[in-house]
Structure 1
Amino acid sequence: MDEKSLMEAALFSAGKPVSEQQLKSLLNRSSTYINSLAQKLMEEYRERNSPLEIVRLEGKYAMQLRPEYAERVVGFSPGELRAPALRTLSVIAYYQPIQQSDLVDIRGQAAYDHVAMLLEKDLIEKKRVGRSYELTTTEAFCDYFGLTKGDVESIKTQIMKKAKLKKESLTKWVDSKVPDVDAFDAVSKLMPKVK
């Protein structure tokens, strides 16, 4: 069996980032060899202009849709988040740590259902603070959206870069009825107006 094809199959079937260590165990090869093989796969996907790409994130490799395709096919995947939950997650990511009561003020009563679903998917965590809960994103959130883990400010900066700082106020975004198709688009609408 071809090792490169085996690595590709592992990345496809995992559905989440796979550590270099896992790939080393699978192929019984060195880190140098694994990284070289992964680079070849990355190049092949780029050269054939595939809708899929392989990316490296903190010592892990992931197979994912390129963003321009992900936006168009988000509704076809049962594991994907729908627009309302995505907006709620975007508010949490941008304003974290955020009190659940503040989130409900921004997003309405449906936020309780969104929080339950996001907790189930391990994209956020919540801890009791006073009479409310404090919500923050998790490492799984970073993996899911291809962000490098780090402190809250680092994650916010990455989100803003990926969102390309669209110039729309939070109020206008919350009041709009236009569904969002990806998380970075949703987050971009949280940004303050840039003059």
Structure 2
Amino acid sequence: MNDTNANDAPAAADLHAGVEALLLMATEPIPTPQLAEALQVPTHLVEQACRDLARFYDDTGRGFALRHVGGGWRYWTRAEHADLISRWVLEGQQSKLTQAALETLSVIAYLQPISRARVSAVRGVNVDGVVRTLLARGLVEESGADEGSNATLFVTTDYFLERMGLESLHELPALAPHLPDANELEAELGRMVEVAPDEPTGAAQDADEGERHEH
């Protein structure tokens, strides 16, 4: 509700408190316009309140931070407390992705949109099982079809950005120096796909099928 009269705007302390109350209940990032609608104040005031709170938490060394990632605002515990949280709450309770899934997710993240066959070509194994796992976890999603082969293309999701703590894919770190540039890798993939069928059979069954047992 961006047309609220400035004279009707709540005091900064009340606005900050309202933002905190809403974000404490959030299970996913909340966009600024959605917060503004709930608080019935102009969007720019909510944006400023969130930035004020984020700066306040940083300046006072709180154990949590307010960050804008995945298209909205959400509280995060600070990285320096990861070991403490892992020991107390998370250890043994979180289902981690396997190395195979992480590698597959990385290929999709850097070369998206990309077909399953091309991911298989990069990794040298059939990735059907791993891609199903990544889809089930909401980390990747289908995004149309390749014009030439009609193969389904995959991209990462907003949830992937949220879990990575990124605002956009532009914030992905550069590929390691010993790895080929993404464009070079894509060119190599193109040459490989010309030889291999776009949708591989299960000939090289995925060591990654062990993914099915991690749910």
> For residues 114 and 2 of structure 1, do their structure 2 counterparts lie closer, same or farther at Cα, with a shift above 3 Å needed?
farther
CA contact (8 A) 2:69 2:167 kept: yes
Q: What per-residue deviation string (whole Å, max 9, x for no partner) do you get for residues 80-117 of structure 1?
A: 752432332111101222221232340634x3233122
Q: Secondary structure at the match of 1:160?
A: coil
CA contact (8 A) 1:57 1:147 kept: yes
Matched, 1:135 2:150: no
CA contact (8 A) 2:31 2:73 kept: yes
Structure 2 residue identity aligned to 1:62? R
CA contact (8 A) 2:70 2:159 kept: no
Instruction: For structure 1, list consecutive stretches of 5 or more residues without a partner in the other structure.
Output: 150-154, 171-195
CA contact (8 A) 1:16 1:63 kept: no
> For residues 20 and 12 of structure 1, do their structure 2 counterparts lie closer, same or farther at Cα, with a shift above 3 Å needed?
same
CA contact (8 A) 1:88 1:107 kept: no
Instruction: For structure 2, list consecutive stretches of 5 or more residues without a partner in the other structure.
Output: 1-12, 181-215
Alignment size in residue pairs: 160
Q: 1:145 aligns with which of 147, 152, 164?
A: 164
Q: 1:99 aligns with which of 110, 115, 126?
A: 115
Name the larger-Rg structure: 2
In structure 1, how many angstroms separate the alpha carbons of the residues matched to 2:84 and 2:125? Answer: 27
Aligned counterpart, 1:76: 90
- CA deviation after TM superposition for structure 1 residue 21, in Å: 1.8
Q: Secondary structure at the match of 2:155?
A: strand
In structure 2, how many angstroms separate the alpha carbons of the residues matched to 1:141 and 1:116? Answer: 15
Deviates more, 1:71-80 or 1:93-102: 71-80
Matched, 1:47 2:59: yes
Q: 2:125 aligns with which of 85, 108, 113?
A: 108
- CA deviation after TM superposition for structure 1 residue 128, in Å: 4.6
Q: Secondary structure at the match of 2:53?
A: helix
> For residues 128 and 59 of structure 1, do their structure 2 counterparts lie closer, same or farther at Cα, with a shift above 3 Å needed?
closer
In structure 2, how many angstroms separate the alpha carbons of the residues matched to 1:101 and 1:26? Answer: 45
In structure 2, how many angstroms separate the alpha carbons of the residues matched to 1:71 and 1:41? Answer: 25
CA contact (8 A) 2:66 2:73 kept: yes
CA contact (8 A) 1:15 1:63 kept: no
Q: 2:28 aligns with which of 6, 10, 16?
A: 16
Output the TM-score relative to the length of structure 1. 0.63
Structure 1 residue identity aligned to 2:90? F
- CA deviation after TM superposition for structure 1 residue 68, in Å: 4.6
Matched, 1:159 2:176: no
Q: 2:138 aligns with which of 106, 122, 126?
A: 122
In structure 2, how many angstroms separate the alpha carbons of the residues matched to 1:53 and 1:80? Answer: 24
Aligned counterpart, 2:49: 37
CA contact (8 A) 1:20 1:34 kept: yes
After superposition, the CA RMSD in angstroms is 3.4
Q: Secondary structure at the match of 1:14?
A: coil
